[in-house]
Amino acid sequence: MDTNDAATRLEALGNSTRLSLYRALVKAGHGGLSVGECQQRLQIAASTLSFHLKALIHAGLVTQERQSRTLICRANYDVMHALVGFLVDECCADEGCQTQTSDAA
């Protein structure tokens, strides 16, 4: 993941409603939640939910799938793991803590 992709995804999560929605979808697991369930859990208007879902989908953090008349929203776990990895991959690299951790074990 490059810096621009990470910035886009972090920007999408920088809104408290979107972050709450994303966390609810992550918590729901691979089965996801219907749009109605998302709306009920967050207690927000349908138009507000639609606006925030669009931002998360555009950032690649959420996917939607139509099942008959229901839209199912799911967290994109591959993107989530890539973003977390991007944030921690070089943790303490300049300090050499990875070597220190190995020596301590």
Q: How many CB atoms lie within 10 A of CB 71?
A: 16
pLDDT for res 98: 59
Q: What is the pLDDT of residues 14-54, one digit of tens each?
A: 999 999 999 999 999 999 999 999 999 999 999 999 999 99
Return the residue matching tokens 């050499």. 96
Q: What is the pLDDT of residues 62-96, one digit of tens each?
A: 999 999 999 999 999 999 999 999 999 988 888 87
Q: How many CA atoms lie within 13 A of 104 on its CB side?
A: 6
pLDDT greater at residue 105 or residue 46: 46
Domain boundaries along the sequence of the chain: 3-104
Record: fold of 3-104: Arc Repressor Mutant, subunit A (1.10.10)
Tokens of 19: 């972050």
Q: What is the pLDDT of residues 44-56, one digit of tens each?
A: 999 999 999 999 9
Could you tell me the pTM of the whole model? 0.86
